[in-house]
Amino acid sequence: MSEQQEQSVAVILVAAGTGTRLGAGMPKALVQVRGKSLAEHALDSMLCVPQVKEIIVVVPPEDSRLTERLSGYPQLVRTVPGGSSRAASVRKGLAKVSADVSHILVHDAARAFAPVAQYELILAELGKPGVQAVIPALAVTDTISVVASDPETGSQIVVQTPDRSTLRAVQTPQGFAAQTLLAAHSRLDHYSLKDLERVTDDASIVRACDIEVHIVPGDARSLKVTHPEDLDAVNRLFEPAQRNQLEQNMVIPRIGNGIDVHAVSTDPTRQMWLAGLFFPDDIGLSGHSDGDAVAHAACDALFSASGIGDLGTHFGVDRPEFAGASGVSLLAEAARLVREAGFEIGNVAVQFVARRPRFAARREEANQLLSDVLGAPVSVTATTSDGLGYEGEGIGVTAYATALVYPVVPEGQ
């Protein structure tokens, strides 16, 4: 498994700002574009990133509307009330991050349209040895000058004009090794709320601890909605020409189906293996293998999604080493083949229809085992057929699986 796959990432989505400059009469993260709030648009992308294991949305402290809007979101999305500045809000989010995450990304809800590819770029760079901090940035097109007030007239004057080629406009999401970001923020513990207002991003805090901050190319779509005209700019992202551009850059996932049927053995001593688990009270399924219909259907769904054949293609007579192999070992090999074909696995869902075994009490155990084998979430459910058909008569089991995979885009493309 590559370093990137081992990342376990928390995202802090800061969405607690009032949006004074936007002047929409509501917290900025609640402002709608195409029927969805900015915060929800931001969540759309990060929820597509498989390494993301939790998302802490930092919400306006005295406004419950965002929390209510997010109540139907998956469990990995949690909310926490924000603070009086961006940095204070990030700190509220950090306090809620689970201890076991390897990396933390901090993202502005105001940059609601940062694409999935931007997250992947940041995480790929963070996966390189020794890299602790990565931010996206764009070259600047304006000349940028440092200014000050003229002590005599009080008017603004140019103090210095740095070489533009050394300047970058910094965006979010900004990514960090979890311990690096936590340690850097802990140095702000004594800061007053006023001091925190001067901290405009997280990379600057980490840099102040002498940690190297790496740059990856930013993305024009990650523009920050700050002023009313920025809403026109983000709406333009949905116009046809731009949409084509969006689609070209999108990673299109692929789904696949798999079905497997096994008869219940007539041999009462045959062991029952299903979803990777042994069921000692049940008579097993017949077949040359262990008869694990759930694992077999999952393999077929993965092959189908990746367009690389089916169970017979990979575990047929020309691979004698798999004769009689357990369902779990077939699944592990299927995952390897899918990755070898250039895909990463999003998830696999399997439902089996059977009178026996009784599955509910062991569902979590099966999900955990198969997810570990696959390196991606697997969920298994079971149903009976109300007494109908071979499943209802208890003479056979059917498993139906769906798999989602997505092409891994090579770096730099």
Ligand X SMILES: Nc1ccn([C@@H]2O[C@H](COP(=O)(O)OP(=O)(O)OP(=O)(O)O)[C@@H](O)[C@H]2O)c(=O)n1
Question: Using the rule CB under 6 A, is 224 a contact of ligand X?
Answer: yes
3-class SS of residue 222: helix
Contact 333, 322 (CB under 8 A): yes
- Interface residue with ligand X among 19, 127, 136, 175 (CB under 6 A) is 19
Question: Using the rule CB under 6 A, is 226 a contact of ligand X?
Answer: yes
The helix (run of H) or strand (run of E) holding residue 147 is strand 146-149
- Interface residue with ligand X among 1, 20, 99, 412 (CB under 6 A) is 20
Tell whether the torsion through CA atoms of 200, 206, 208 and 214 is positive or negative: negative
When CB distances are held under 5 to 8 angstroms depending on the partner's kind, the choice from ligand LQXTBERG, ligand X, none that residue 28 binds is ligand X
* One-character DSSP codes across 244-256: HHHHHHS---EEE
Q: Which residues pair with 78 in a beta bridge?
A: 56
Stretch that binds ligand X, among 104-112, 135-143, 235-243, 333-341 (CB under 6 A): 104-112
Is 142 assigned a ligand-binding role in the annotation?
no
In the window 99-128, what residues touch ligand LQXTBERG (CB under 6 A)? 108
- Interface residue with ligand LQXTBERG among 36, 214, 224, 270 (CB under 6 A) is 224
CB of 127 to ligand LQXTBERG, least distance (A): 23
- Interface residue with ligand X among 9, 10, 14, 370 (CB under 6 A) is 14
What binding mask, one character per residue, do residues 62-101 give for ligand X by CB under 6 A, x or -? --------------------xxxxx--x------------
CB of 83 to ligand X, least distance (A): 6
Residues in the chain: 413
Nearest-angstrom CA–CA distance, 169 and 308: 43
- Interface residue with ligand LQXTBERG among 54, 201, 219, 260 (CB under 6 A) is 201
Q: Which residue has the tokens 């895909």?
A: 343
Based on C-alpha coordinates, what's the Rg of the chain? 26
Question: Using the rule CB under 6 A, is 350 a contact of ligand X?
Answer: no
Nearest-angstrom CA–CA distance, 387 and 350: 21
How many of the chain's residues bind ligand X (CB under 6 A)?
Answer: 23
153 Cβ contact partners less than 8 Å away, ≥ 6 residues apart: none
- Strands, DSSP E only, in 6-118? 9-14, 32-33, 36-37, 52-59, 77-81, 103-108
Query: Smallest Cα–Cα separation from 77: which of 34, 125, 15?
Result: 15
- Cα atoms in the 13 Å half-sphere on the side-chain side of 349: 4
When CB distances are held under 5 to 8 angstroms depending on the partner's kind, the choice from ligand X, ligand LQXTBERG, none that residue 180 binds is none
Contacts with ligand LQXTBERG, residue ranges (CB under 6 A): 86, 108, 170-172, 200-201, 224
Can you give the binding site for ligand X, defined by CB under 6 A?
14-22, 28-29, 58, 82-86, 89, 108-110, 224, 226
Residue set of the binding site: 260-262, 288-289, 296, 310-312, 383-386, 390
